Each structure stands twice: as C-alpha cells, then as structure tokens.
Structure 1
Amino acid sequence: MIRRNILKSLVAAASGAGGLGLTQATAGAEGESPVPPLGNYAQAWDPADPAVPGRLGIAPMPDDYFVPGRFAGKTVIVTGCARGMGRGAAWRLAREGANVVGVDWLEAEGRATMEQIAAAGHPTRFVAGDVAEDAICARMVATAVEAFGGLDAALNNAGVMDGVHSGAPIDYATQKDRVFAPIHEATDEYWDAVFRTNVKGVFLSMRHELRQMLAQGRGGAILNVGSIAGLAGLAGNPAYVASKHAVNGITRNAAVDYAPWGIRVNSVNMAATDTPMIARAGALVAAQNAAAGPGPAMGRLKTMSILAYADQARRPATVAEQVSMMVYLLSPESGNMTGATYATDGGWTAF
C-alpha cells in the first residue's frame, strides 16, 4: 500500500506541474506499449466472504507498469538478472530509460533475458559469472563504464537460500549436505556457500560499485536485496538468516560512510514473493520434511504476511510489487532515503 501511495503521489505531483501526467495512453520508449493504469487499490472477494460483507483484497499492480523517462541517461547494474526479481527489475529499469548491465551465473538464462530486453530497443550488456568472484564484480563495473560511460546505480540482487547451485535440478538425497538445516545439523558446505554468495558477493559488488561512483564524483544509489530473514528469525535456515542480517548491516555501514559523496545505500526485505527461488525452496522443504519425518515444525508458527492473510487466494507478493519499490529507491526521486532496511513484506514484520 505504501509503495503504491508513493508512486501515485509522485505521478499526481508531476501531472499538476505539467510533468509526466501518466494515463493509460502514456507512451513509453519507442516500440514500447503504453503504460498500463495502476487501477484500484483493492478488489472485492469473488465469491464474497459470507462472514465479512464487503471484504476486499489488495489489487496486484500490472506486471508491465513503468514510469517513462525516470532513468533516462542513467546506467544501472542488476545482479541476479536471469530470473525472478532481478529479471523484473532489469525490464522495468530498461523501460524507464536506463542502460542496464545484467549479471548472473545462470549464463544461458541471464543472456536470454538481456537479449530480450535489447530486442525491445533498450541498451543492455550482459556479464556472465559469480558475484562472489572479485574479477566478475570488476568486470561488471568496467562493462558499465566502457559501454555507457559510467555507473549511476546498482541493484545487488543476487542471492541464494541454500548451498546448492540455483541452476541444478533438485535431488535432496544427493544435495542434503548443502541444503538448509537447523544449526546442530548444518554443514560447513551449506554455511560457506550461502555466505559466499549473500555476503561476500554483496561486499565485492559494493566495493567495485563504490570505487567507480567515488571516481566519477556525481553520487549514486545502491540497493541491496535482503529478506525478512534479515529483520527477524526464520526457522530452519541459519545461514540465510545470518547472511541477510549481514546484508542489512553492511547497508547501514555504507550509508554512513558514503553520504558525504552523495551516494545513498538502502535495502529491501521481502516476505514470500512469487519467484523461482521461493518455489525451489518450497520443494526442498517438502523433500526435507518427507525425509525427516514428524517434528515440531516451528516454521509453521507463522506462514503469511498481513496482506497474504487478508487476500482471498492467500497470494504472495508479485515481482512487480517488489520491483516498484526497488526502482523508486534507485531513482533520484528517493533523495532523502538512505541507511534504511525497508520491510517490503506485506506487513510480515508488523506482528
């Protein structure tokens, strides 16, 4: 709700000042479809809830909504661009005028995503590799500079929930040592792999991004993708919880250190979102539960956010809903926002 209110107020202000004035007929970039209307805040239950007359659920925003020209002339790095939120963010940033450098260790999928965006008429580059390797992080920034003349913003989105490579098919019996588990059962392989991507990968990405932004002397914005696991506990996945707390810690640290150079650093922390990573985690949890047998199932103490509970279909957040906040925080519109760990979680951490 807050995300939509922010965007609506910005649009209204632009309209009143002779600015964007977004409507259904607003055109995007050359060759793009018109911007779809945001629509209503809520929608009626269908069929109606007999116990609660007039009950409503939050209406999902259009998957292809964008703000024309918001990133015109700016260059943005998106790590983890192949799937899910990274893919959604790369598309929206491009539609809003950004030059996008996508990075992913899923080379075929990441390259396909960036080629599809380029085919729609948007300037892109792709860097294949693992952000936990310093050379890859150096290359992604160098690519932004060589192709587009610099770097204005970065979305450090690449992350994992377990130690199995995200491109590997699920086979719990052979992958058990790298899958999440309570601390007394967790292995070094699982712990090290999660920290390698989620913590070292963010550190290395930021180190190269910040060096470039400092050298340019024109400021910038960095957004790290955290999780509710970085704001609270989450049963059965200690490395993920600890690593996302670390992401939020380095976010706050960087916000303090780089504010004098006009560089803002924030994080977003979502609950369940409709992405391949969440679907994969669900399949692993099911396999783990089947292998382990009955247990206390502490993870079932809380399974839904406020908005999911209030929704008729108990839906998770959509990629578009998460991306809307991401691109806002990366844009110059959010000039007063830094050092914050935004709970983009549908109210999960509110109760």
Structure 2
Amino acid sequence: MAGILDGKAALVTGGGSGIGRATAIAMAREGARVAVSDLSKDGIEETVALVNAAGGQSIAIQGDVTDEAAVANMVARTVSAFGRIDCAFNNAGVAGRSVGPPGQRIHELTQPTVAKMFSVNLMGVFLCLKYEIAQMLKQGGGGAIVNTASIAGLIGLATSAHYVATKHGVVGLTKSAAVEYAQDGIRVNCVNPGYIKTPMTKETMDERYDEIMAKVPVRRLGVPEEIAEAVVWMCSDKASFMTGASHVVDGGYTAA
C-alpha cells in the first residue's frame, strides 16, 4: 500500500535530531524522498543513515537557515537530487537558553541575545519560505509547507519573551503566506508543539519537570514522533483543505 507522501520530494530543516529527525523518518516511511538539513553534520548524516537503512531515500545538506545563500543552496541541492520540492518542514530553531542565560525577564535581555533568537527562529523560517515557495511556483505551483511554531506562538510565557515573540511571528508569517499563495495551490501551515522530549528541552525538564507537568493535562512529555505524525499529515493530500492553520499538539496545555 502506498504511503500518503508517495512520490513526493521533501526538505526538512533542523533534521539532525529531535522533531526534525523523527519527521524525516516518518516522511520517508510514507514514501517521500527526503533532503535533511541542519548545522550539525554528524546529526544529519545519522538521520540520513536511519532513513536509508529503513529503505528510504535521503540526502544530507549541512546549512545555516540564517544565511540566505545557504538556504538557497538547500533548495537547489534538493531539486538537483530529486527534481522538485513538493513539501517542506521548516523546523530549525533555538530555545532561550541556546542564545543567552535562561530565566531572563525583558529588562534583562540583551539586544544580541534577542537578535540571535529572531535570526534563527523567524528570519530562518522567512528565508526558507522564500526559496521553497519560489521553487514551487517555478514547478507550476502546488505544494505543502509546515513551519514549526510552538504553544509559545499562541500564549505568553514568563522569562521567554524573545522566544514567544519569534513563535508568534512564525504563526503570523504562516497565515500571510497561506493567504498569498492559496491560488497557486501552495498550502502553508504551522505545528505548535507543547513540551516535547528532545535535546532542546532536556535542561529545562531536568530543572522544572514537576512544575511543567502539573500544567499538562496528560501529565507527560510528548515525543518527537507525535509531532512528526501531525506534520506528515499536513504535508499530505489528506489535508488538502487546510492552510493558514496553527495545529496544536500539546497534551492539552493550552486548553487547561
């Protein structure tokens, strides 16, 4: 039986670990050929090895989503390998403690810290959209793109203002792109994960697990594969009437 992405070519950023890796593997399982990009050369090579060992077809493209030339290269190399791009998952991002000291309120944040956060989480998504959409239009239109936002794109979180701002930005960028390219058959949605068990959240979970779990109705962390399943579905033709949406996968956090 054919998978729901059978015959499609996909690009995944932030694919060296966590949600990106799980999604690349899930896309390949559903029949897509997958280009995997990340800053981590070792990470993407491991992801590609996992995909190929399972019978999929994948290539590794090391690159930085904050570098426009690098993003253009990601898209060009994907097209060179697979002939086109049918779906993309713009997942590369950073958490607060990745760009500066954790737990800072707005008056304590420095401009370089905020600029780095915006560069990766928002400008990176913009650049990926720009080049992916241009390629989809060049192909004659049609395609599906999913951006990684967060529950932080829908609510406020204390001591995370710069992260929250970028994720609200991703939601807004997603909606605008969806409206602009609907007539071209290009669907653009975002996934809004809650607290997921990934390398990015490990330190936070080590420090605040009980506090955070008390706010999650299902009382557990999500796993990357649960986000991957949502992304794969949004990239498939089964989600053909879905565009401009924020798809929340958070164990009930934002409902509580």
Identify whether the pair has TM-score above 0.5, normalized to the shorter chain. Answer: yes
Amino acid of the structure 1 residue aligned with 2:38: D
Asked if residue 189 in structure 1 is aligned to residue 100 in structure 2, the reply is no
Find the aligned partners of 1:280 and 1:325 in 2 and give their Cα distance. 25
In 2, Cα distance between equivalents of 1:281 and 1:269: 18
- Aligned-partner Cα distance in 2 for 1:158–1:180: 22
8 Å CA contact retained: 1:161, 1:281: no
Q: How many residues align?
A: 255
Per the normalisation by structure 2, the TM-score is 0.94
Are positions 1:307 and 2:198 aligned together? no
Shift of 1:121: 2.6
TM-score, normalised to structure 1, is 0.69
Separation in 2 of the partners of 1:183 and 1:303? 25
Note if contact 1:163-1:191 (Cα within 8 Å) is conserved in structure 2. Answer: no
| Cα offsets for 1:225-261 (capped at 9, x unmatched) | 1111000011211110000000000000000000000
Residues 277-319 of structure 1: CA deviation (Å, up to 9, x unaligned)? 1113445x67xxxxxxxxxxxxx598522222xxxxxx21121
CA RMSD of aligned residues (A): 1.9
Taking the aligned partners of 1:79 and 1:303, their CA distance within structure 2 comes to: 32
Q: Which structure features the higher share of helix residues? A: 2
Structure 1 residue 78 displacement after superposition: 0.5
Distance change >3 Å, CA 281–CA 160, structure 1 → 2: farther
Would you identify which runs of 4 or more consecutive aligned residues in structure 1 move more than 6 Å? Answer: none
What amino acid is the match of 1:82? G
CA contact (8 A) 1:125 1:143 kept: no
Identity of counterpart residues, as a percentage? Answer: 41
Kept in 2: contact 1:180–1:238 (CA 8 A): no
Helix, strand or coil for the counterpart of 2:3? coil
Kept in 2, the 8 Å contact 1:132–1:201? The answer is yes
- Unaligned 5+ segments in structure 2 are none
Deviation for aligned residue 1:335: 0.2
Find the counterpart in structure 2 of residue 334 from structure 1: 239
The 1:157/1:195 distance shift into structure 2, 3 A limit, reads: same
Deviation at 1:213, TM superposition (A): 0.4
SS at match of 1:269: strand
> What residue number does 1:229 align with?
152
**Does 209-218 or 106-115 show the bigger shift?**
106-115
In structure 2, what is the equivalent of residue 199 of structure 1?
Answer: 122
| TM-superposition CA deviations, 1:84-110 (whole Å, max 9, x none) | 110000011111110100000011111
Q: For residues 251-279 of structure 1, what are the alpha-carbon distances to aligned partners after superposition, in whole Å with 9 as ceiling and x for unaligned?
A: 00000000000000111111111111111
Q: Which runs of 5+ in 1 are unaligned?
A: 1-19, 21-67, 166-174, 287-299, 309-314
